[in-house]
Structure 1
Amino acid sequence: MDTSKILLIAVVLTACSVIFQVIGLALPNWIHADVPPSKLYSGLWKACLEVEGRDSTCKDLTNPTDWLKAVRVMSILGLLALLVSSIAVALKQFIMKEQKPILFVAIAAAFAGAVFILISIAVYAAKINDINTGEIFKFHFAFAFCILAMLEGLGGGVLMLIEMMK
């Protein structure tokens, strides 16, 4: 039996979405502020300060606000859902080729993961924009990686839907 190229692309997209979400969650680079002579980087778990001529120092965000806790939870749920989708579509493509229900699981998990990540991105952006009255903070690369993870999860879900309708 021949393997579906559409599902193969969906496997790659969902796997990349998991990798991008892990990068986005792990790194303290969701926002960046450059106020000479110092730079501030912050993410979901840590904030780092880099002063010119000194080593950078990072501190854990130990008492996060409720909205930051919600962003963390939604981001982690998005990661877990994308991981389930990635595993399910890989199983469908390579091992359980005749099992249609596994594709339903993969599709649902891909779209759920994208929605969870969308919620986390929207809440974080809204709250940072409320705080950022002087236009000091700019969104940075880890934030962009989470957006990419969401878009790749959506793309993988759409490709799986197309495959299911064949």
Structure 2
Amino acid sequence: MGFGQSSLFLKIGFILIIVALVIQILGVALPYWYQKEYSSSVSANGGLFRFCTEISNTKSCSNIENASDWWQAVQAFEIIGLLILVASLVLCIIVLFIKNDMKVLKLINWILCFCACGFIIIGIIIYGAEASGVLEEYSGAFAITIIAGIVALVAGVVCLLDWMGKGTPA
């Protein structure tokens, strides 16, 4: 009952969960969900929690306070998605290295992956719907958050295949 007896799908799922978690952490933390250039010397960018402006090569950043309800909803969905990915990673470590014969843990793991994907994508949809008229250009952190949601979905599919017994021990 260890890494050697784990299926190939579980090992791939483990790697995908780590990748999704790292990408989601970057997407939530980086202040580049949107970017706008007002003139050649004035630009602004921001993320879920910080807003930065650059005026004549002088950059200043501040925390976003008193955000609108939809903004707080996006923050909540993205953070919950991140926390679910952490829970999925912990459970996958347990299944991969300690208890790989317990199907109920594998079941919970793939459900967590799909839930993480759902929360991340719902946050992205809210942001895309509400910010489209206000913030003109989506930026890199928004894009990598989309990628994190897709990778979490793929991890869920791979872990589901493992739960179904499709993977043979590698």
Q: Under a length normalisation based on structure 1, what TM-score does the superposition of the two structures give?
A: 0.92
Classify the secondary structure of the residue corresponding to 1:124.
helix
1:127-166 to structure 2, matched below 5 A, reads: 127-132=130-135, 137-166=136-165
Please provide the CA RMSD for this pair.
1.2
Q: What is the CA deviation profile of residues 42-77 of structure 1, one whole-angstrom value per residue up to 9, with x for unaligned ones?
A: 11111100123x321001111100000101111111
| CA distance in 2: counterparts of 1:109 and 1:157, whole angstroms | 8
Q: What is the CA deviation profile of residues 99-118 of structure 1, one whole-angstrom value per residue up to 9, with x for unaligned ones?
A: 11111111111111100011
Other-structure match for 1:50: 54
Q: What is the CA deviation profile of residues 135-154 of structure 1, one whole-angstrom value per residue up to 9, with x for unaligned ones?
A: xx211111112111101110
The runs of 5 or more residues in structure 2 that have no matched partner are 166-170
Q: Under a length normalisation based on structure 2, what TM-score does the superposition of the two structures give?
A: 0.90
User: Are positions 1:64 and 2:67 aligned together?
Assistant: yes
Q: How many residues align?
A: 161
Identity of aligned residues (%): 29
Other-structure match for 1:92: 95
Classify the secondary structure of the residue corresponding to 1:59.
strand
Classify the secondary structure of the residue corresponding to 2:32.
coil
- Note the C-alpha offset of 1:2: 2.9
Classify the secondary structure of the residue corresponding to 2:12.
helix
| CA distance in 2: counterparts of 1:41 and 1:97, whole angstroms | 45
| CA distance in 2: counterparts of 1:119 and 1:3, whole angstroms | 32
The runs of 5 or more residues in structure 1 that have no matched partner are none
